[in-house]
Amino acid sequence: MRQWFIRLGFGKKIQLLMNLVSMGVLTIAIVVIGLGFYGEFKSNLEDRVLQKSNMLADASAVGVVFDQSESVSILIGSLAVDEGVKSAVVYKKQGSADYQYFAHYSRDKDVQIERAYQRGAVQEWRGGVFILRLPILVDNEEVGRLILTEENTYLADFALNSLFYMLPVLIVSMILVWFISRSVQGRLASPLSELTQAVHEVAYNQDYGKLVEIVSDDELGELGNAFNHMLAKLAQHEAFRVEKETEIIKLNAELEEKVFDRTKELKTSLDNLKLTQQQLVEQEKMASLGELVAGVAHEINTPIGVGITAVSHLGDSIELIRKSFENGSLTKTQFSDMISVITESAGIVGSNLKRAADLVKAFKAVAVDQSSAEPRLFILSSYIEDILTSLRPKLKRTLHKIELDIDENIELFCDPGLISQIVSNLVMNSLHHAFKPGQIGHIKISAHRVGETLHFTYTDDGSGIEEKILSRLFDPFVTTKRGQGGSGLGTHIIYNLVTQGLGGRIQCFSELDKGVRFDITLPLSGPSETT
C-alpha cells in the first residue's frame, strides 16, 4: 500500500488526500450531528414516558388503595393507543419493603408477565428497552409501584430516517469534493509536471535552454521564475566549465610534453650523477690505495736504510781487517771483534730485510687483491692481519689498540679485495672520526661462523654517531667532517661492498660518547650461491 502511494504522481496524491480528508470530515460531521439528534430524541422519549407514567401513577392511586384491580387494569389498558409502550405492571406495597402484583397491561398478549417484583434503578435502558419504576403515592405515602416498559421503536425509526436524508447529502458532498479536488489537481499538478519535465531534461540531458512557463503569481510562479534563473546560471557555469576544461586539456598536453622533457633531462642528470658517483668512489678507492702505497713506501725506507747502514759499516770493518791481514798485523783480538761486528751487522740486516719483506708481502696481498677483483679461498684471520700490517704507517702514529677475535679456521671464498676495502675504511673512519687527538682508543674486530654465514663485528669506543646522522649513515656524501677532508663516501662504499659485492647485510648501532658497532653478515660461500 505504501509503495503504491509512493508511485502515485503528485497531482494524484493531492486529489486522493483531498478526497480522503473531505470524506473523513463530512463523515465525522454527519456522525456527530446524528449522535446529537439521537441523544436529544432519546432524552425527549424519556421525558415523555416519565410524564405519561406520572399521570398513570396518580390515576391508579385510588384503585390501589381500595383494591380495585379491574379499574386499574382498565386505566393502564389505555396505553394501547401508544405503540411504543410494551408493558405496564402495577404492584401494591405490602409492609415496609415488599410489593405484590396488582394489575398489568401487555401489548403482546402471548408474553407472560413477570408477577414477582424486580428491583432496579428508577429508570434504565436494558436490551434496547427503556424501563421506568415509578412510586404510586397517596398523600406523599407510597402505596405501590408502576413499572412501565417502553421500546426504542421511535429511536430506530429516527435513525433510519436520519440515514435516509443524510446519505444523499454525503454522496452529493463527496461528488462535489471530487470535482473540486480534480480542478485543484489540474491547477497544481500541471505546473509541477512541467517543472519536473524540465528538471529531468537538465539532469539527464544537460539541456539548459529549456525554460519553464508557469502563468501564476503564487509560489508556483515564483518557483518557475527561480528555476529559469537557475538554468541561466547553470548555462553560464557550463559554458565556463567547457572553456576551462578545454584550457586544462591544453595545459595537460603542454604539461605532459614538459614532463617528458624534464624526465629526459633528469634521466641524463641521474646518469651523469651515477657516473660521477662511480668516479668519486673509484677516486676514493685509488686515493686510499695511493695513501697505502705512500705509507708502505715510507715504512719500507726505514728498515732498508738501517740495512744499508749496517752493510756499509760491515764493509768498512771488512776493509780494516783485510789491511791488517795483508800487513801481517792482524791479532786474535782484532779478528774476534771483527767476527762480532760481522755477526751483529748480519743480524741487523737480516731483521730489517725480513721486516721490509713482511711489509712488501702484506702490501702485495692487499694491493693486488684490491686491483684484481678475483674471488679466491683464503683464511680470514691471517688476511686481516696483513691488512692491519699494511695500515701500520697510519696506526703507529697513534696510541690506539686493535684487538682481533677471529677463529683461525674460518675460510672465506670471495674477492679478498672487498674485505680489505671494508676493513681499511672502517679503521680509517675510526681514526678520522671516532677518537680525539691524544686519546687512546680501542678497536675490536671479531668474526664467528654461524652455520653457512659469517658474523663479522667491528666496534670502537670513540665518540659515537648522532641519531640524525645515524639514520642516513650509508647515504652518499654524508659526513661529520665536511670541509675537513671528509668526502662522505666511506660508509657508502662499505655498504655497497657488503650488499652488492658480497651479498650480505650491514647494520650500524651507536650512541653519542658510547662508540659504534657495525654488524656484518656474509655468506661463507660467496654471493653467487646465496642469490
pLDDT per position in the chain (531 positions), as tens? 566 656 656 566 666 776 777 777 777 877 777 677 667 666 776 777 777 778 777 778 878 778 888 888 888 888 777 777 878 888 888 877 788 888 888 877 777 777 778 787 777 877 777 788 888 888 788 888 888 888 766 666 666 777 777 777 778 777 887 777 667 666 666 666 667 777 767 766 666 666 666 656 666 667 767 777 777 777 778 778 888 888 899 888 888 888 888 888 888 877 776 676 566 556 555 655 555 565 556 556 666 776 677 677 678 777 777 787 788 777 878 778 778 777 877 777 776 676 666 666 655 555 555 555 678 888 999 889 888 887 887 787 788 899 999 988 899 888 888 888 889 889 988 888 888 888 889 999 999 999 889 999 999 999 998 888 888 888 876 666 544 445 556 788 888 889 988 889 999 999 888 899 999 999 987 665 433
Residue 89 belongs to domain spanning:
2-177
Determine, yes or no, domain membership for 311. no
At 399, which CATH number? 3.30.565.10
Q: Name every residue whose Cβ is closer than 8 Å to that of residue 373 and which is 6 or more positions away in sequence.
A: 415, 417
Determine, yes or no, domain membership for 353. no
Angstrom distance (rounded) from CA 169 to CA 30: 9
Determine, yes or no, domain membership for 282. no
The interaxial angle of helices 380-390 and 332-372, nearest 10 deg, is 110
Angstrom distance (rounded) from CA 416 to CA 36: 120
At 16, which CATH number? 3.30.450.20
Determine, yes or no, domain membership for 182. no
Determine, yes or no, domain membership for 64. yes
Determine, yes or no, domain membership for 317. no
Determine, yes or no, domain membership for 338. no
Angstrom distance (rounded) from CA 232 to CA 519: 74
Q: Which of 177, 204, 225 is the last residue of a domain?
A: 177
Determine, yes or no, domain membership for 242. no
Q: Which of 177, 193, 227 is the last residue of a domain?
A: 177
Beta bridge partners of 148: 88, 132
* Residue 399 cell numbers, joined: 696510541
Backbone angles phi, psi at 390, to 5 degrees: -70, -20
Considering only CA atoms, which of 55, 17, 35, 322 is closest in space to residue 181? 17
Angstrom distance (rounded) from CA 354 to CA 138: 170
Q: Which of 177, 210, 245 is the last residue of a domain?
A: 177
Q: Tell me how many domains the chain contains.
A: 2
